[in-house]
Every structure is written in C-alpha cells, then in structure tokens.
Structure 1
Amino acid sequence: MTFDLSLYLVLDPDLCRDHSMIETTLAAIRGGASMVQLRDKNARTEDMIRTGRALMAAMAGSNVPLIVNDNIDVALAINAHGLHVGQDDMPADMARQKLGTGKILGLSVETEAAMRAVDPAIVDYVGVGPVFATATKPGHKPAIGLDGLKHLVGLSPLPSVAIGGLKAEHASAVSAAGAQGMAVVSAICGQPDPEAATRRLASEIWAA
C-alpha cells in the first residue's frame, strides 16, 4: 500500500479532550495530514477497537491510512491500514507475520544499532526520534536532537518520519536532515483549531 509520511498525526486521547479524536482527525485531514496513528497506551483493547472502528468509518474515502500503535489485536479487528511497533513492543517479524502483506508496518528507531538491524523486507518505514524531549510520551528514550536525526536517517534503508516534540518551525530542519516527514502530537492534538494548526504545519513542510 502506498503512503505519504510528510505530515503524520499521532493521536493522544488526553490532548484531544476538547475536540474528540475523530473531530481532530477529520480537521487534520482537511488541513493536510497524510497519515494518522491511533495511540492510546492506557486504553483497553475493546475501547481501542471501538474508537478505531469509528475512525476507520470517519476516514473512509480520504486516502489517508490509519495506523494502530502497538496493538496488533486492534489493528486486525478494525482492518486498519497498518501497525506501528516500538523496540520494546512485539518484534517486527512477528508483527508482519500476524499483519500479513499489503499492510503498512512502521518501526520506532532510537539508536544506530536498532537502525542497522532494520529489515526492509519486513518493515515499510521507520519513526526516528525522539528528536526533542516530549511530554506526550512519558519515559521515552533520550532525545537525539537534529544532528542525531540526520545521522540515523542517513543510515536508514527505508523512508523515515521524525518524531518527538516537533512543531511547524522545525519543518525545514527535519527536511534538511533527510526525513520524508514529521510526526506530531501536541502540534495538532489539543490546539484550539486543529485544522488551522495542521494547515500551518503542512505549508511549512511543503515549503521545506
């Protein structure tokens, strides 16, 4: 399945309190988001399935893929377009086995060793970071900075999306580092006008 990493929205249920995850997603798609990830580390599987089904229905026809973070059961239950796993989640080869071909599989990469271990026959893209420290992912690995991003992206055998504390003003630096796009959470989720926030991000990314 083809996909565009340029503006990758990662949903956060706490930040999406004022505008629901569905409202936020639809506003972001109108504003130019190219991929959406359902991430809720604290939700029960059945609740995530309910949210995921509602998102799949709301996003139908938008050509924007919905990726599920970490939970293969949810991804399969809602027939999501893909799954994203971290280094401490289910191993990528096992995830691919369960997911099947034709679905998108993303993998978080924080270190050179992890990047060198990436298998392009299994994984479709890598999420590289965290570029900066971020409150939206407690207990994340140490921030790698823009230099670290450039280094890891240079080693990547796959398209890469930068993540971690990124805002519109970082778009040109992320592009200069060689990443195909940037993943954001609080730059869209929890903004007073998620559509306008996404539009601003998208224009900075296109300009870059």
Structure 2
Amino acid sequence: MKASRPFPYHLYLVISEADCRGRDPLWVAEEAILGGVDIIQLREKHVATDVFLDKAAQLKQVTDRHRVPLIINDSLTVAMAVGAFGIHVGQQDTPPSEVRRVWPDCQLLGYSIEQQEQLQSRETAAADCLGVSPIFSTATKTDTVTEWGIAGIRQLRGLTDKPLIAIGRMNAGNAREAIRAGADCIAVVSAICAADSPRKAANELKNVINNAL
C-alpha cells in the first residue's frame, strides 16, 4: 500500500541553529537546497516565540527564493505569522484537528506517530502526512516512545495510505532500505546539518533516494 497520491517531497531537512555546528543556518539551508533538499522544517524548541519568529522569517526568504516549502515545527503562531507552507506537530503539541480549525490555509500538516495504535485516531486522520519517529533512536530527540526500525516502516505502510516520512538517524547508508520498506520521504538532521559540506551530503542522499524510488 503506497500513499494515496504521489508525495512530491523525498528529501526533508529538519534544521535548527544548534544542529549547524556554529555555522549560519541560512547558509546550511541554502547549500542543502542546492544539493537536492525538497522541503525544510525549522525546529527551534528552546527559544522564545519572538526569536523563533525572526529565524523563521529569515529562513522563509531563502526557501521562497528557491521555491522550497517551509514547514514550522510545533508553533502554530509562528507558522501562521510567516505564512509558512505548513506545520509539523507531535503527540504533545497542538492537535492536527485544532490546526485545521485555526489555520484552514495550512497546505501541509505533518503529524508524528509514536505507536501503531495512533493510526486509528481522529488526529491522524486530520494530518496530510505522518512522521515515523524515530526510525532509529537519536540524540536530537529523546522524548520518543517507539524505535520503529525498518520493519516498523514496512508494517505501517501496510496499514495506511498516508505519506510516511522516516526520521531518526537517517543517512545515506540506510535511506535506500527505508524507501524500499515503504517510506515516501527521508527526513534528516545531522546527516546534512553537521556535514562538512551540506550541499554534497544532500546530493548524496538525494541520489540514494532517487535510485530507490
């Protein structure tokens, strides 16, 4: 069972200033786009809303220039204020049904799935795509419930036709296997943000994904 409609985004960058090794996140983001990233999510969990808003507005200038969608992590306030393409929320964030009510113009609503039982929920039904989080446990996200593994992707693919975004220690070494198991998209943090050359890292990942699709 594949997604009910083609999901046009295959390489998804999740970026924050802390993940960029002291380098300008705007430079990292632009290099990643030039390397093949299709969509970018800004995740800044530990800054004030006004700081998050400023970072989002600056990043949106970059993504708009390259016609790449900008997704905001968690903050509906920031997402709406900057006119982002969409938002990604987790189990402890604003529920997707509430996002739909407050922000009907949201073009892409992502929702993290931590347990198989959550597939049957009203909130999952309200989402456009599902973040399968994490595929492999990672230091960048410690508040998770299930380490899905490749087998977990395969299992979820048989239970839903929503696009699946694999995240959690994803890299060029395991992206092919995740795609072949049923993921529609590979989301990465460190594999690009911490790479010596974000552009080269993104290009290598994109080639792996394209060859697996």
* TM-score class normalised by the smaller sequence: over 0.9
Q: Which residue of 2 aligns with 1:89?
A: 93
What is the rounded CA distance, in whole Å, between the counterparts of 1:7 and 1:196 in structure 2?
13
Deviation at 1:3, TM superposition (A): 6.1
2:61 to 57, 75, 81: 57
> What secondary structure, in the 3-state scheme, does the structure 1 residue paired with 2:13 have?
strand
Q: TM-score, length-normalised on structure 2?
A: 0.91
Q: How does 1:34-73 map to 2 (within 5 A)?
A: 34-73=38-77
Q: Which amino acid aligns with 2:128?
A: D
What is the rounded CA distance, in whole Å, between the counterparts of 2:123 and 2:134 in structure 1?
21
Gap regions ≥5 residues in structure 2: 1-5
Q: 1:46 to 1:125 in 2, by over 3 A?
A: same
1:7 to 8, 11, 14: 11
Q: Which residue of 1 aligns with 2:31?
A: 27
Q: 1:202 to 1:58 in 2, by over 3 A?
A: same
Tell me which moved more, 179-188 or 107-116: 107-116
Tell me which moved more, 147-156 or 184-193: 147-156
| 1:143 equivalenced with 2:147 (yes/no) | yes
Runs of 4+ in 1 over 2 A off after TM superposition: 2-5, 118-122, 138-142
Equivalent pairs counted in the alignment come to: 207
Q: TM-score, length-normalised on structure 1?
A: 0.94
Gap regions ≥5 residues in structure 1: none
User: Is contact 1:168–1:204 with CA below 8 Å preserved after alignment?
Assistant: yes
| 1:98 equivalenced with 2:134 (yes/no) | no
What is the rounded CA distance, in whole Å, between the counterparts of 1:54 and 1:15 in structure 2?
17
Deviation at 1:153, TM superposition (A): 2.5
User: Is contact 2:133–2:144 with CA below 8 Å preserved after alignment?
Assistant: no
User: Is contact 1:40–1:48 with CA below 8 Å preserved after alignment?
Assistant: yes
Deviation at 1:100, TM superposition (A): 1.1
> What secondary structure, in the 3-state scheme, does the structure 2 residue paired with 1:42 have?
coil
User: Is contact 2:71–2:88 with CA below 8 Å preserved after alignment?
Assistant: yes
Q: What is the identity percentage for the equivalent residue pairs of Structure 1 and Structure 2?
A: 36
What is the rounded CA distance, in whole Å, between the counterparts of 1:107 and 1:118 in structure 2?
12
Deviation at 1:112, TM superposition (A): 1.2
Q: Which residue of 2 aligns with 1:186?
A: 190
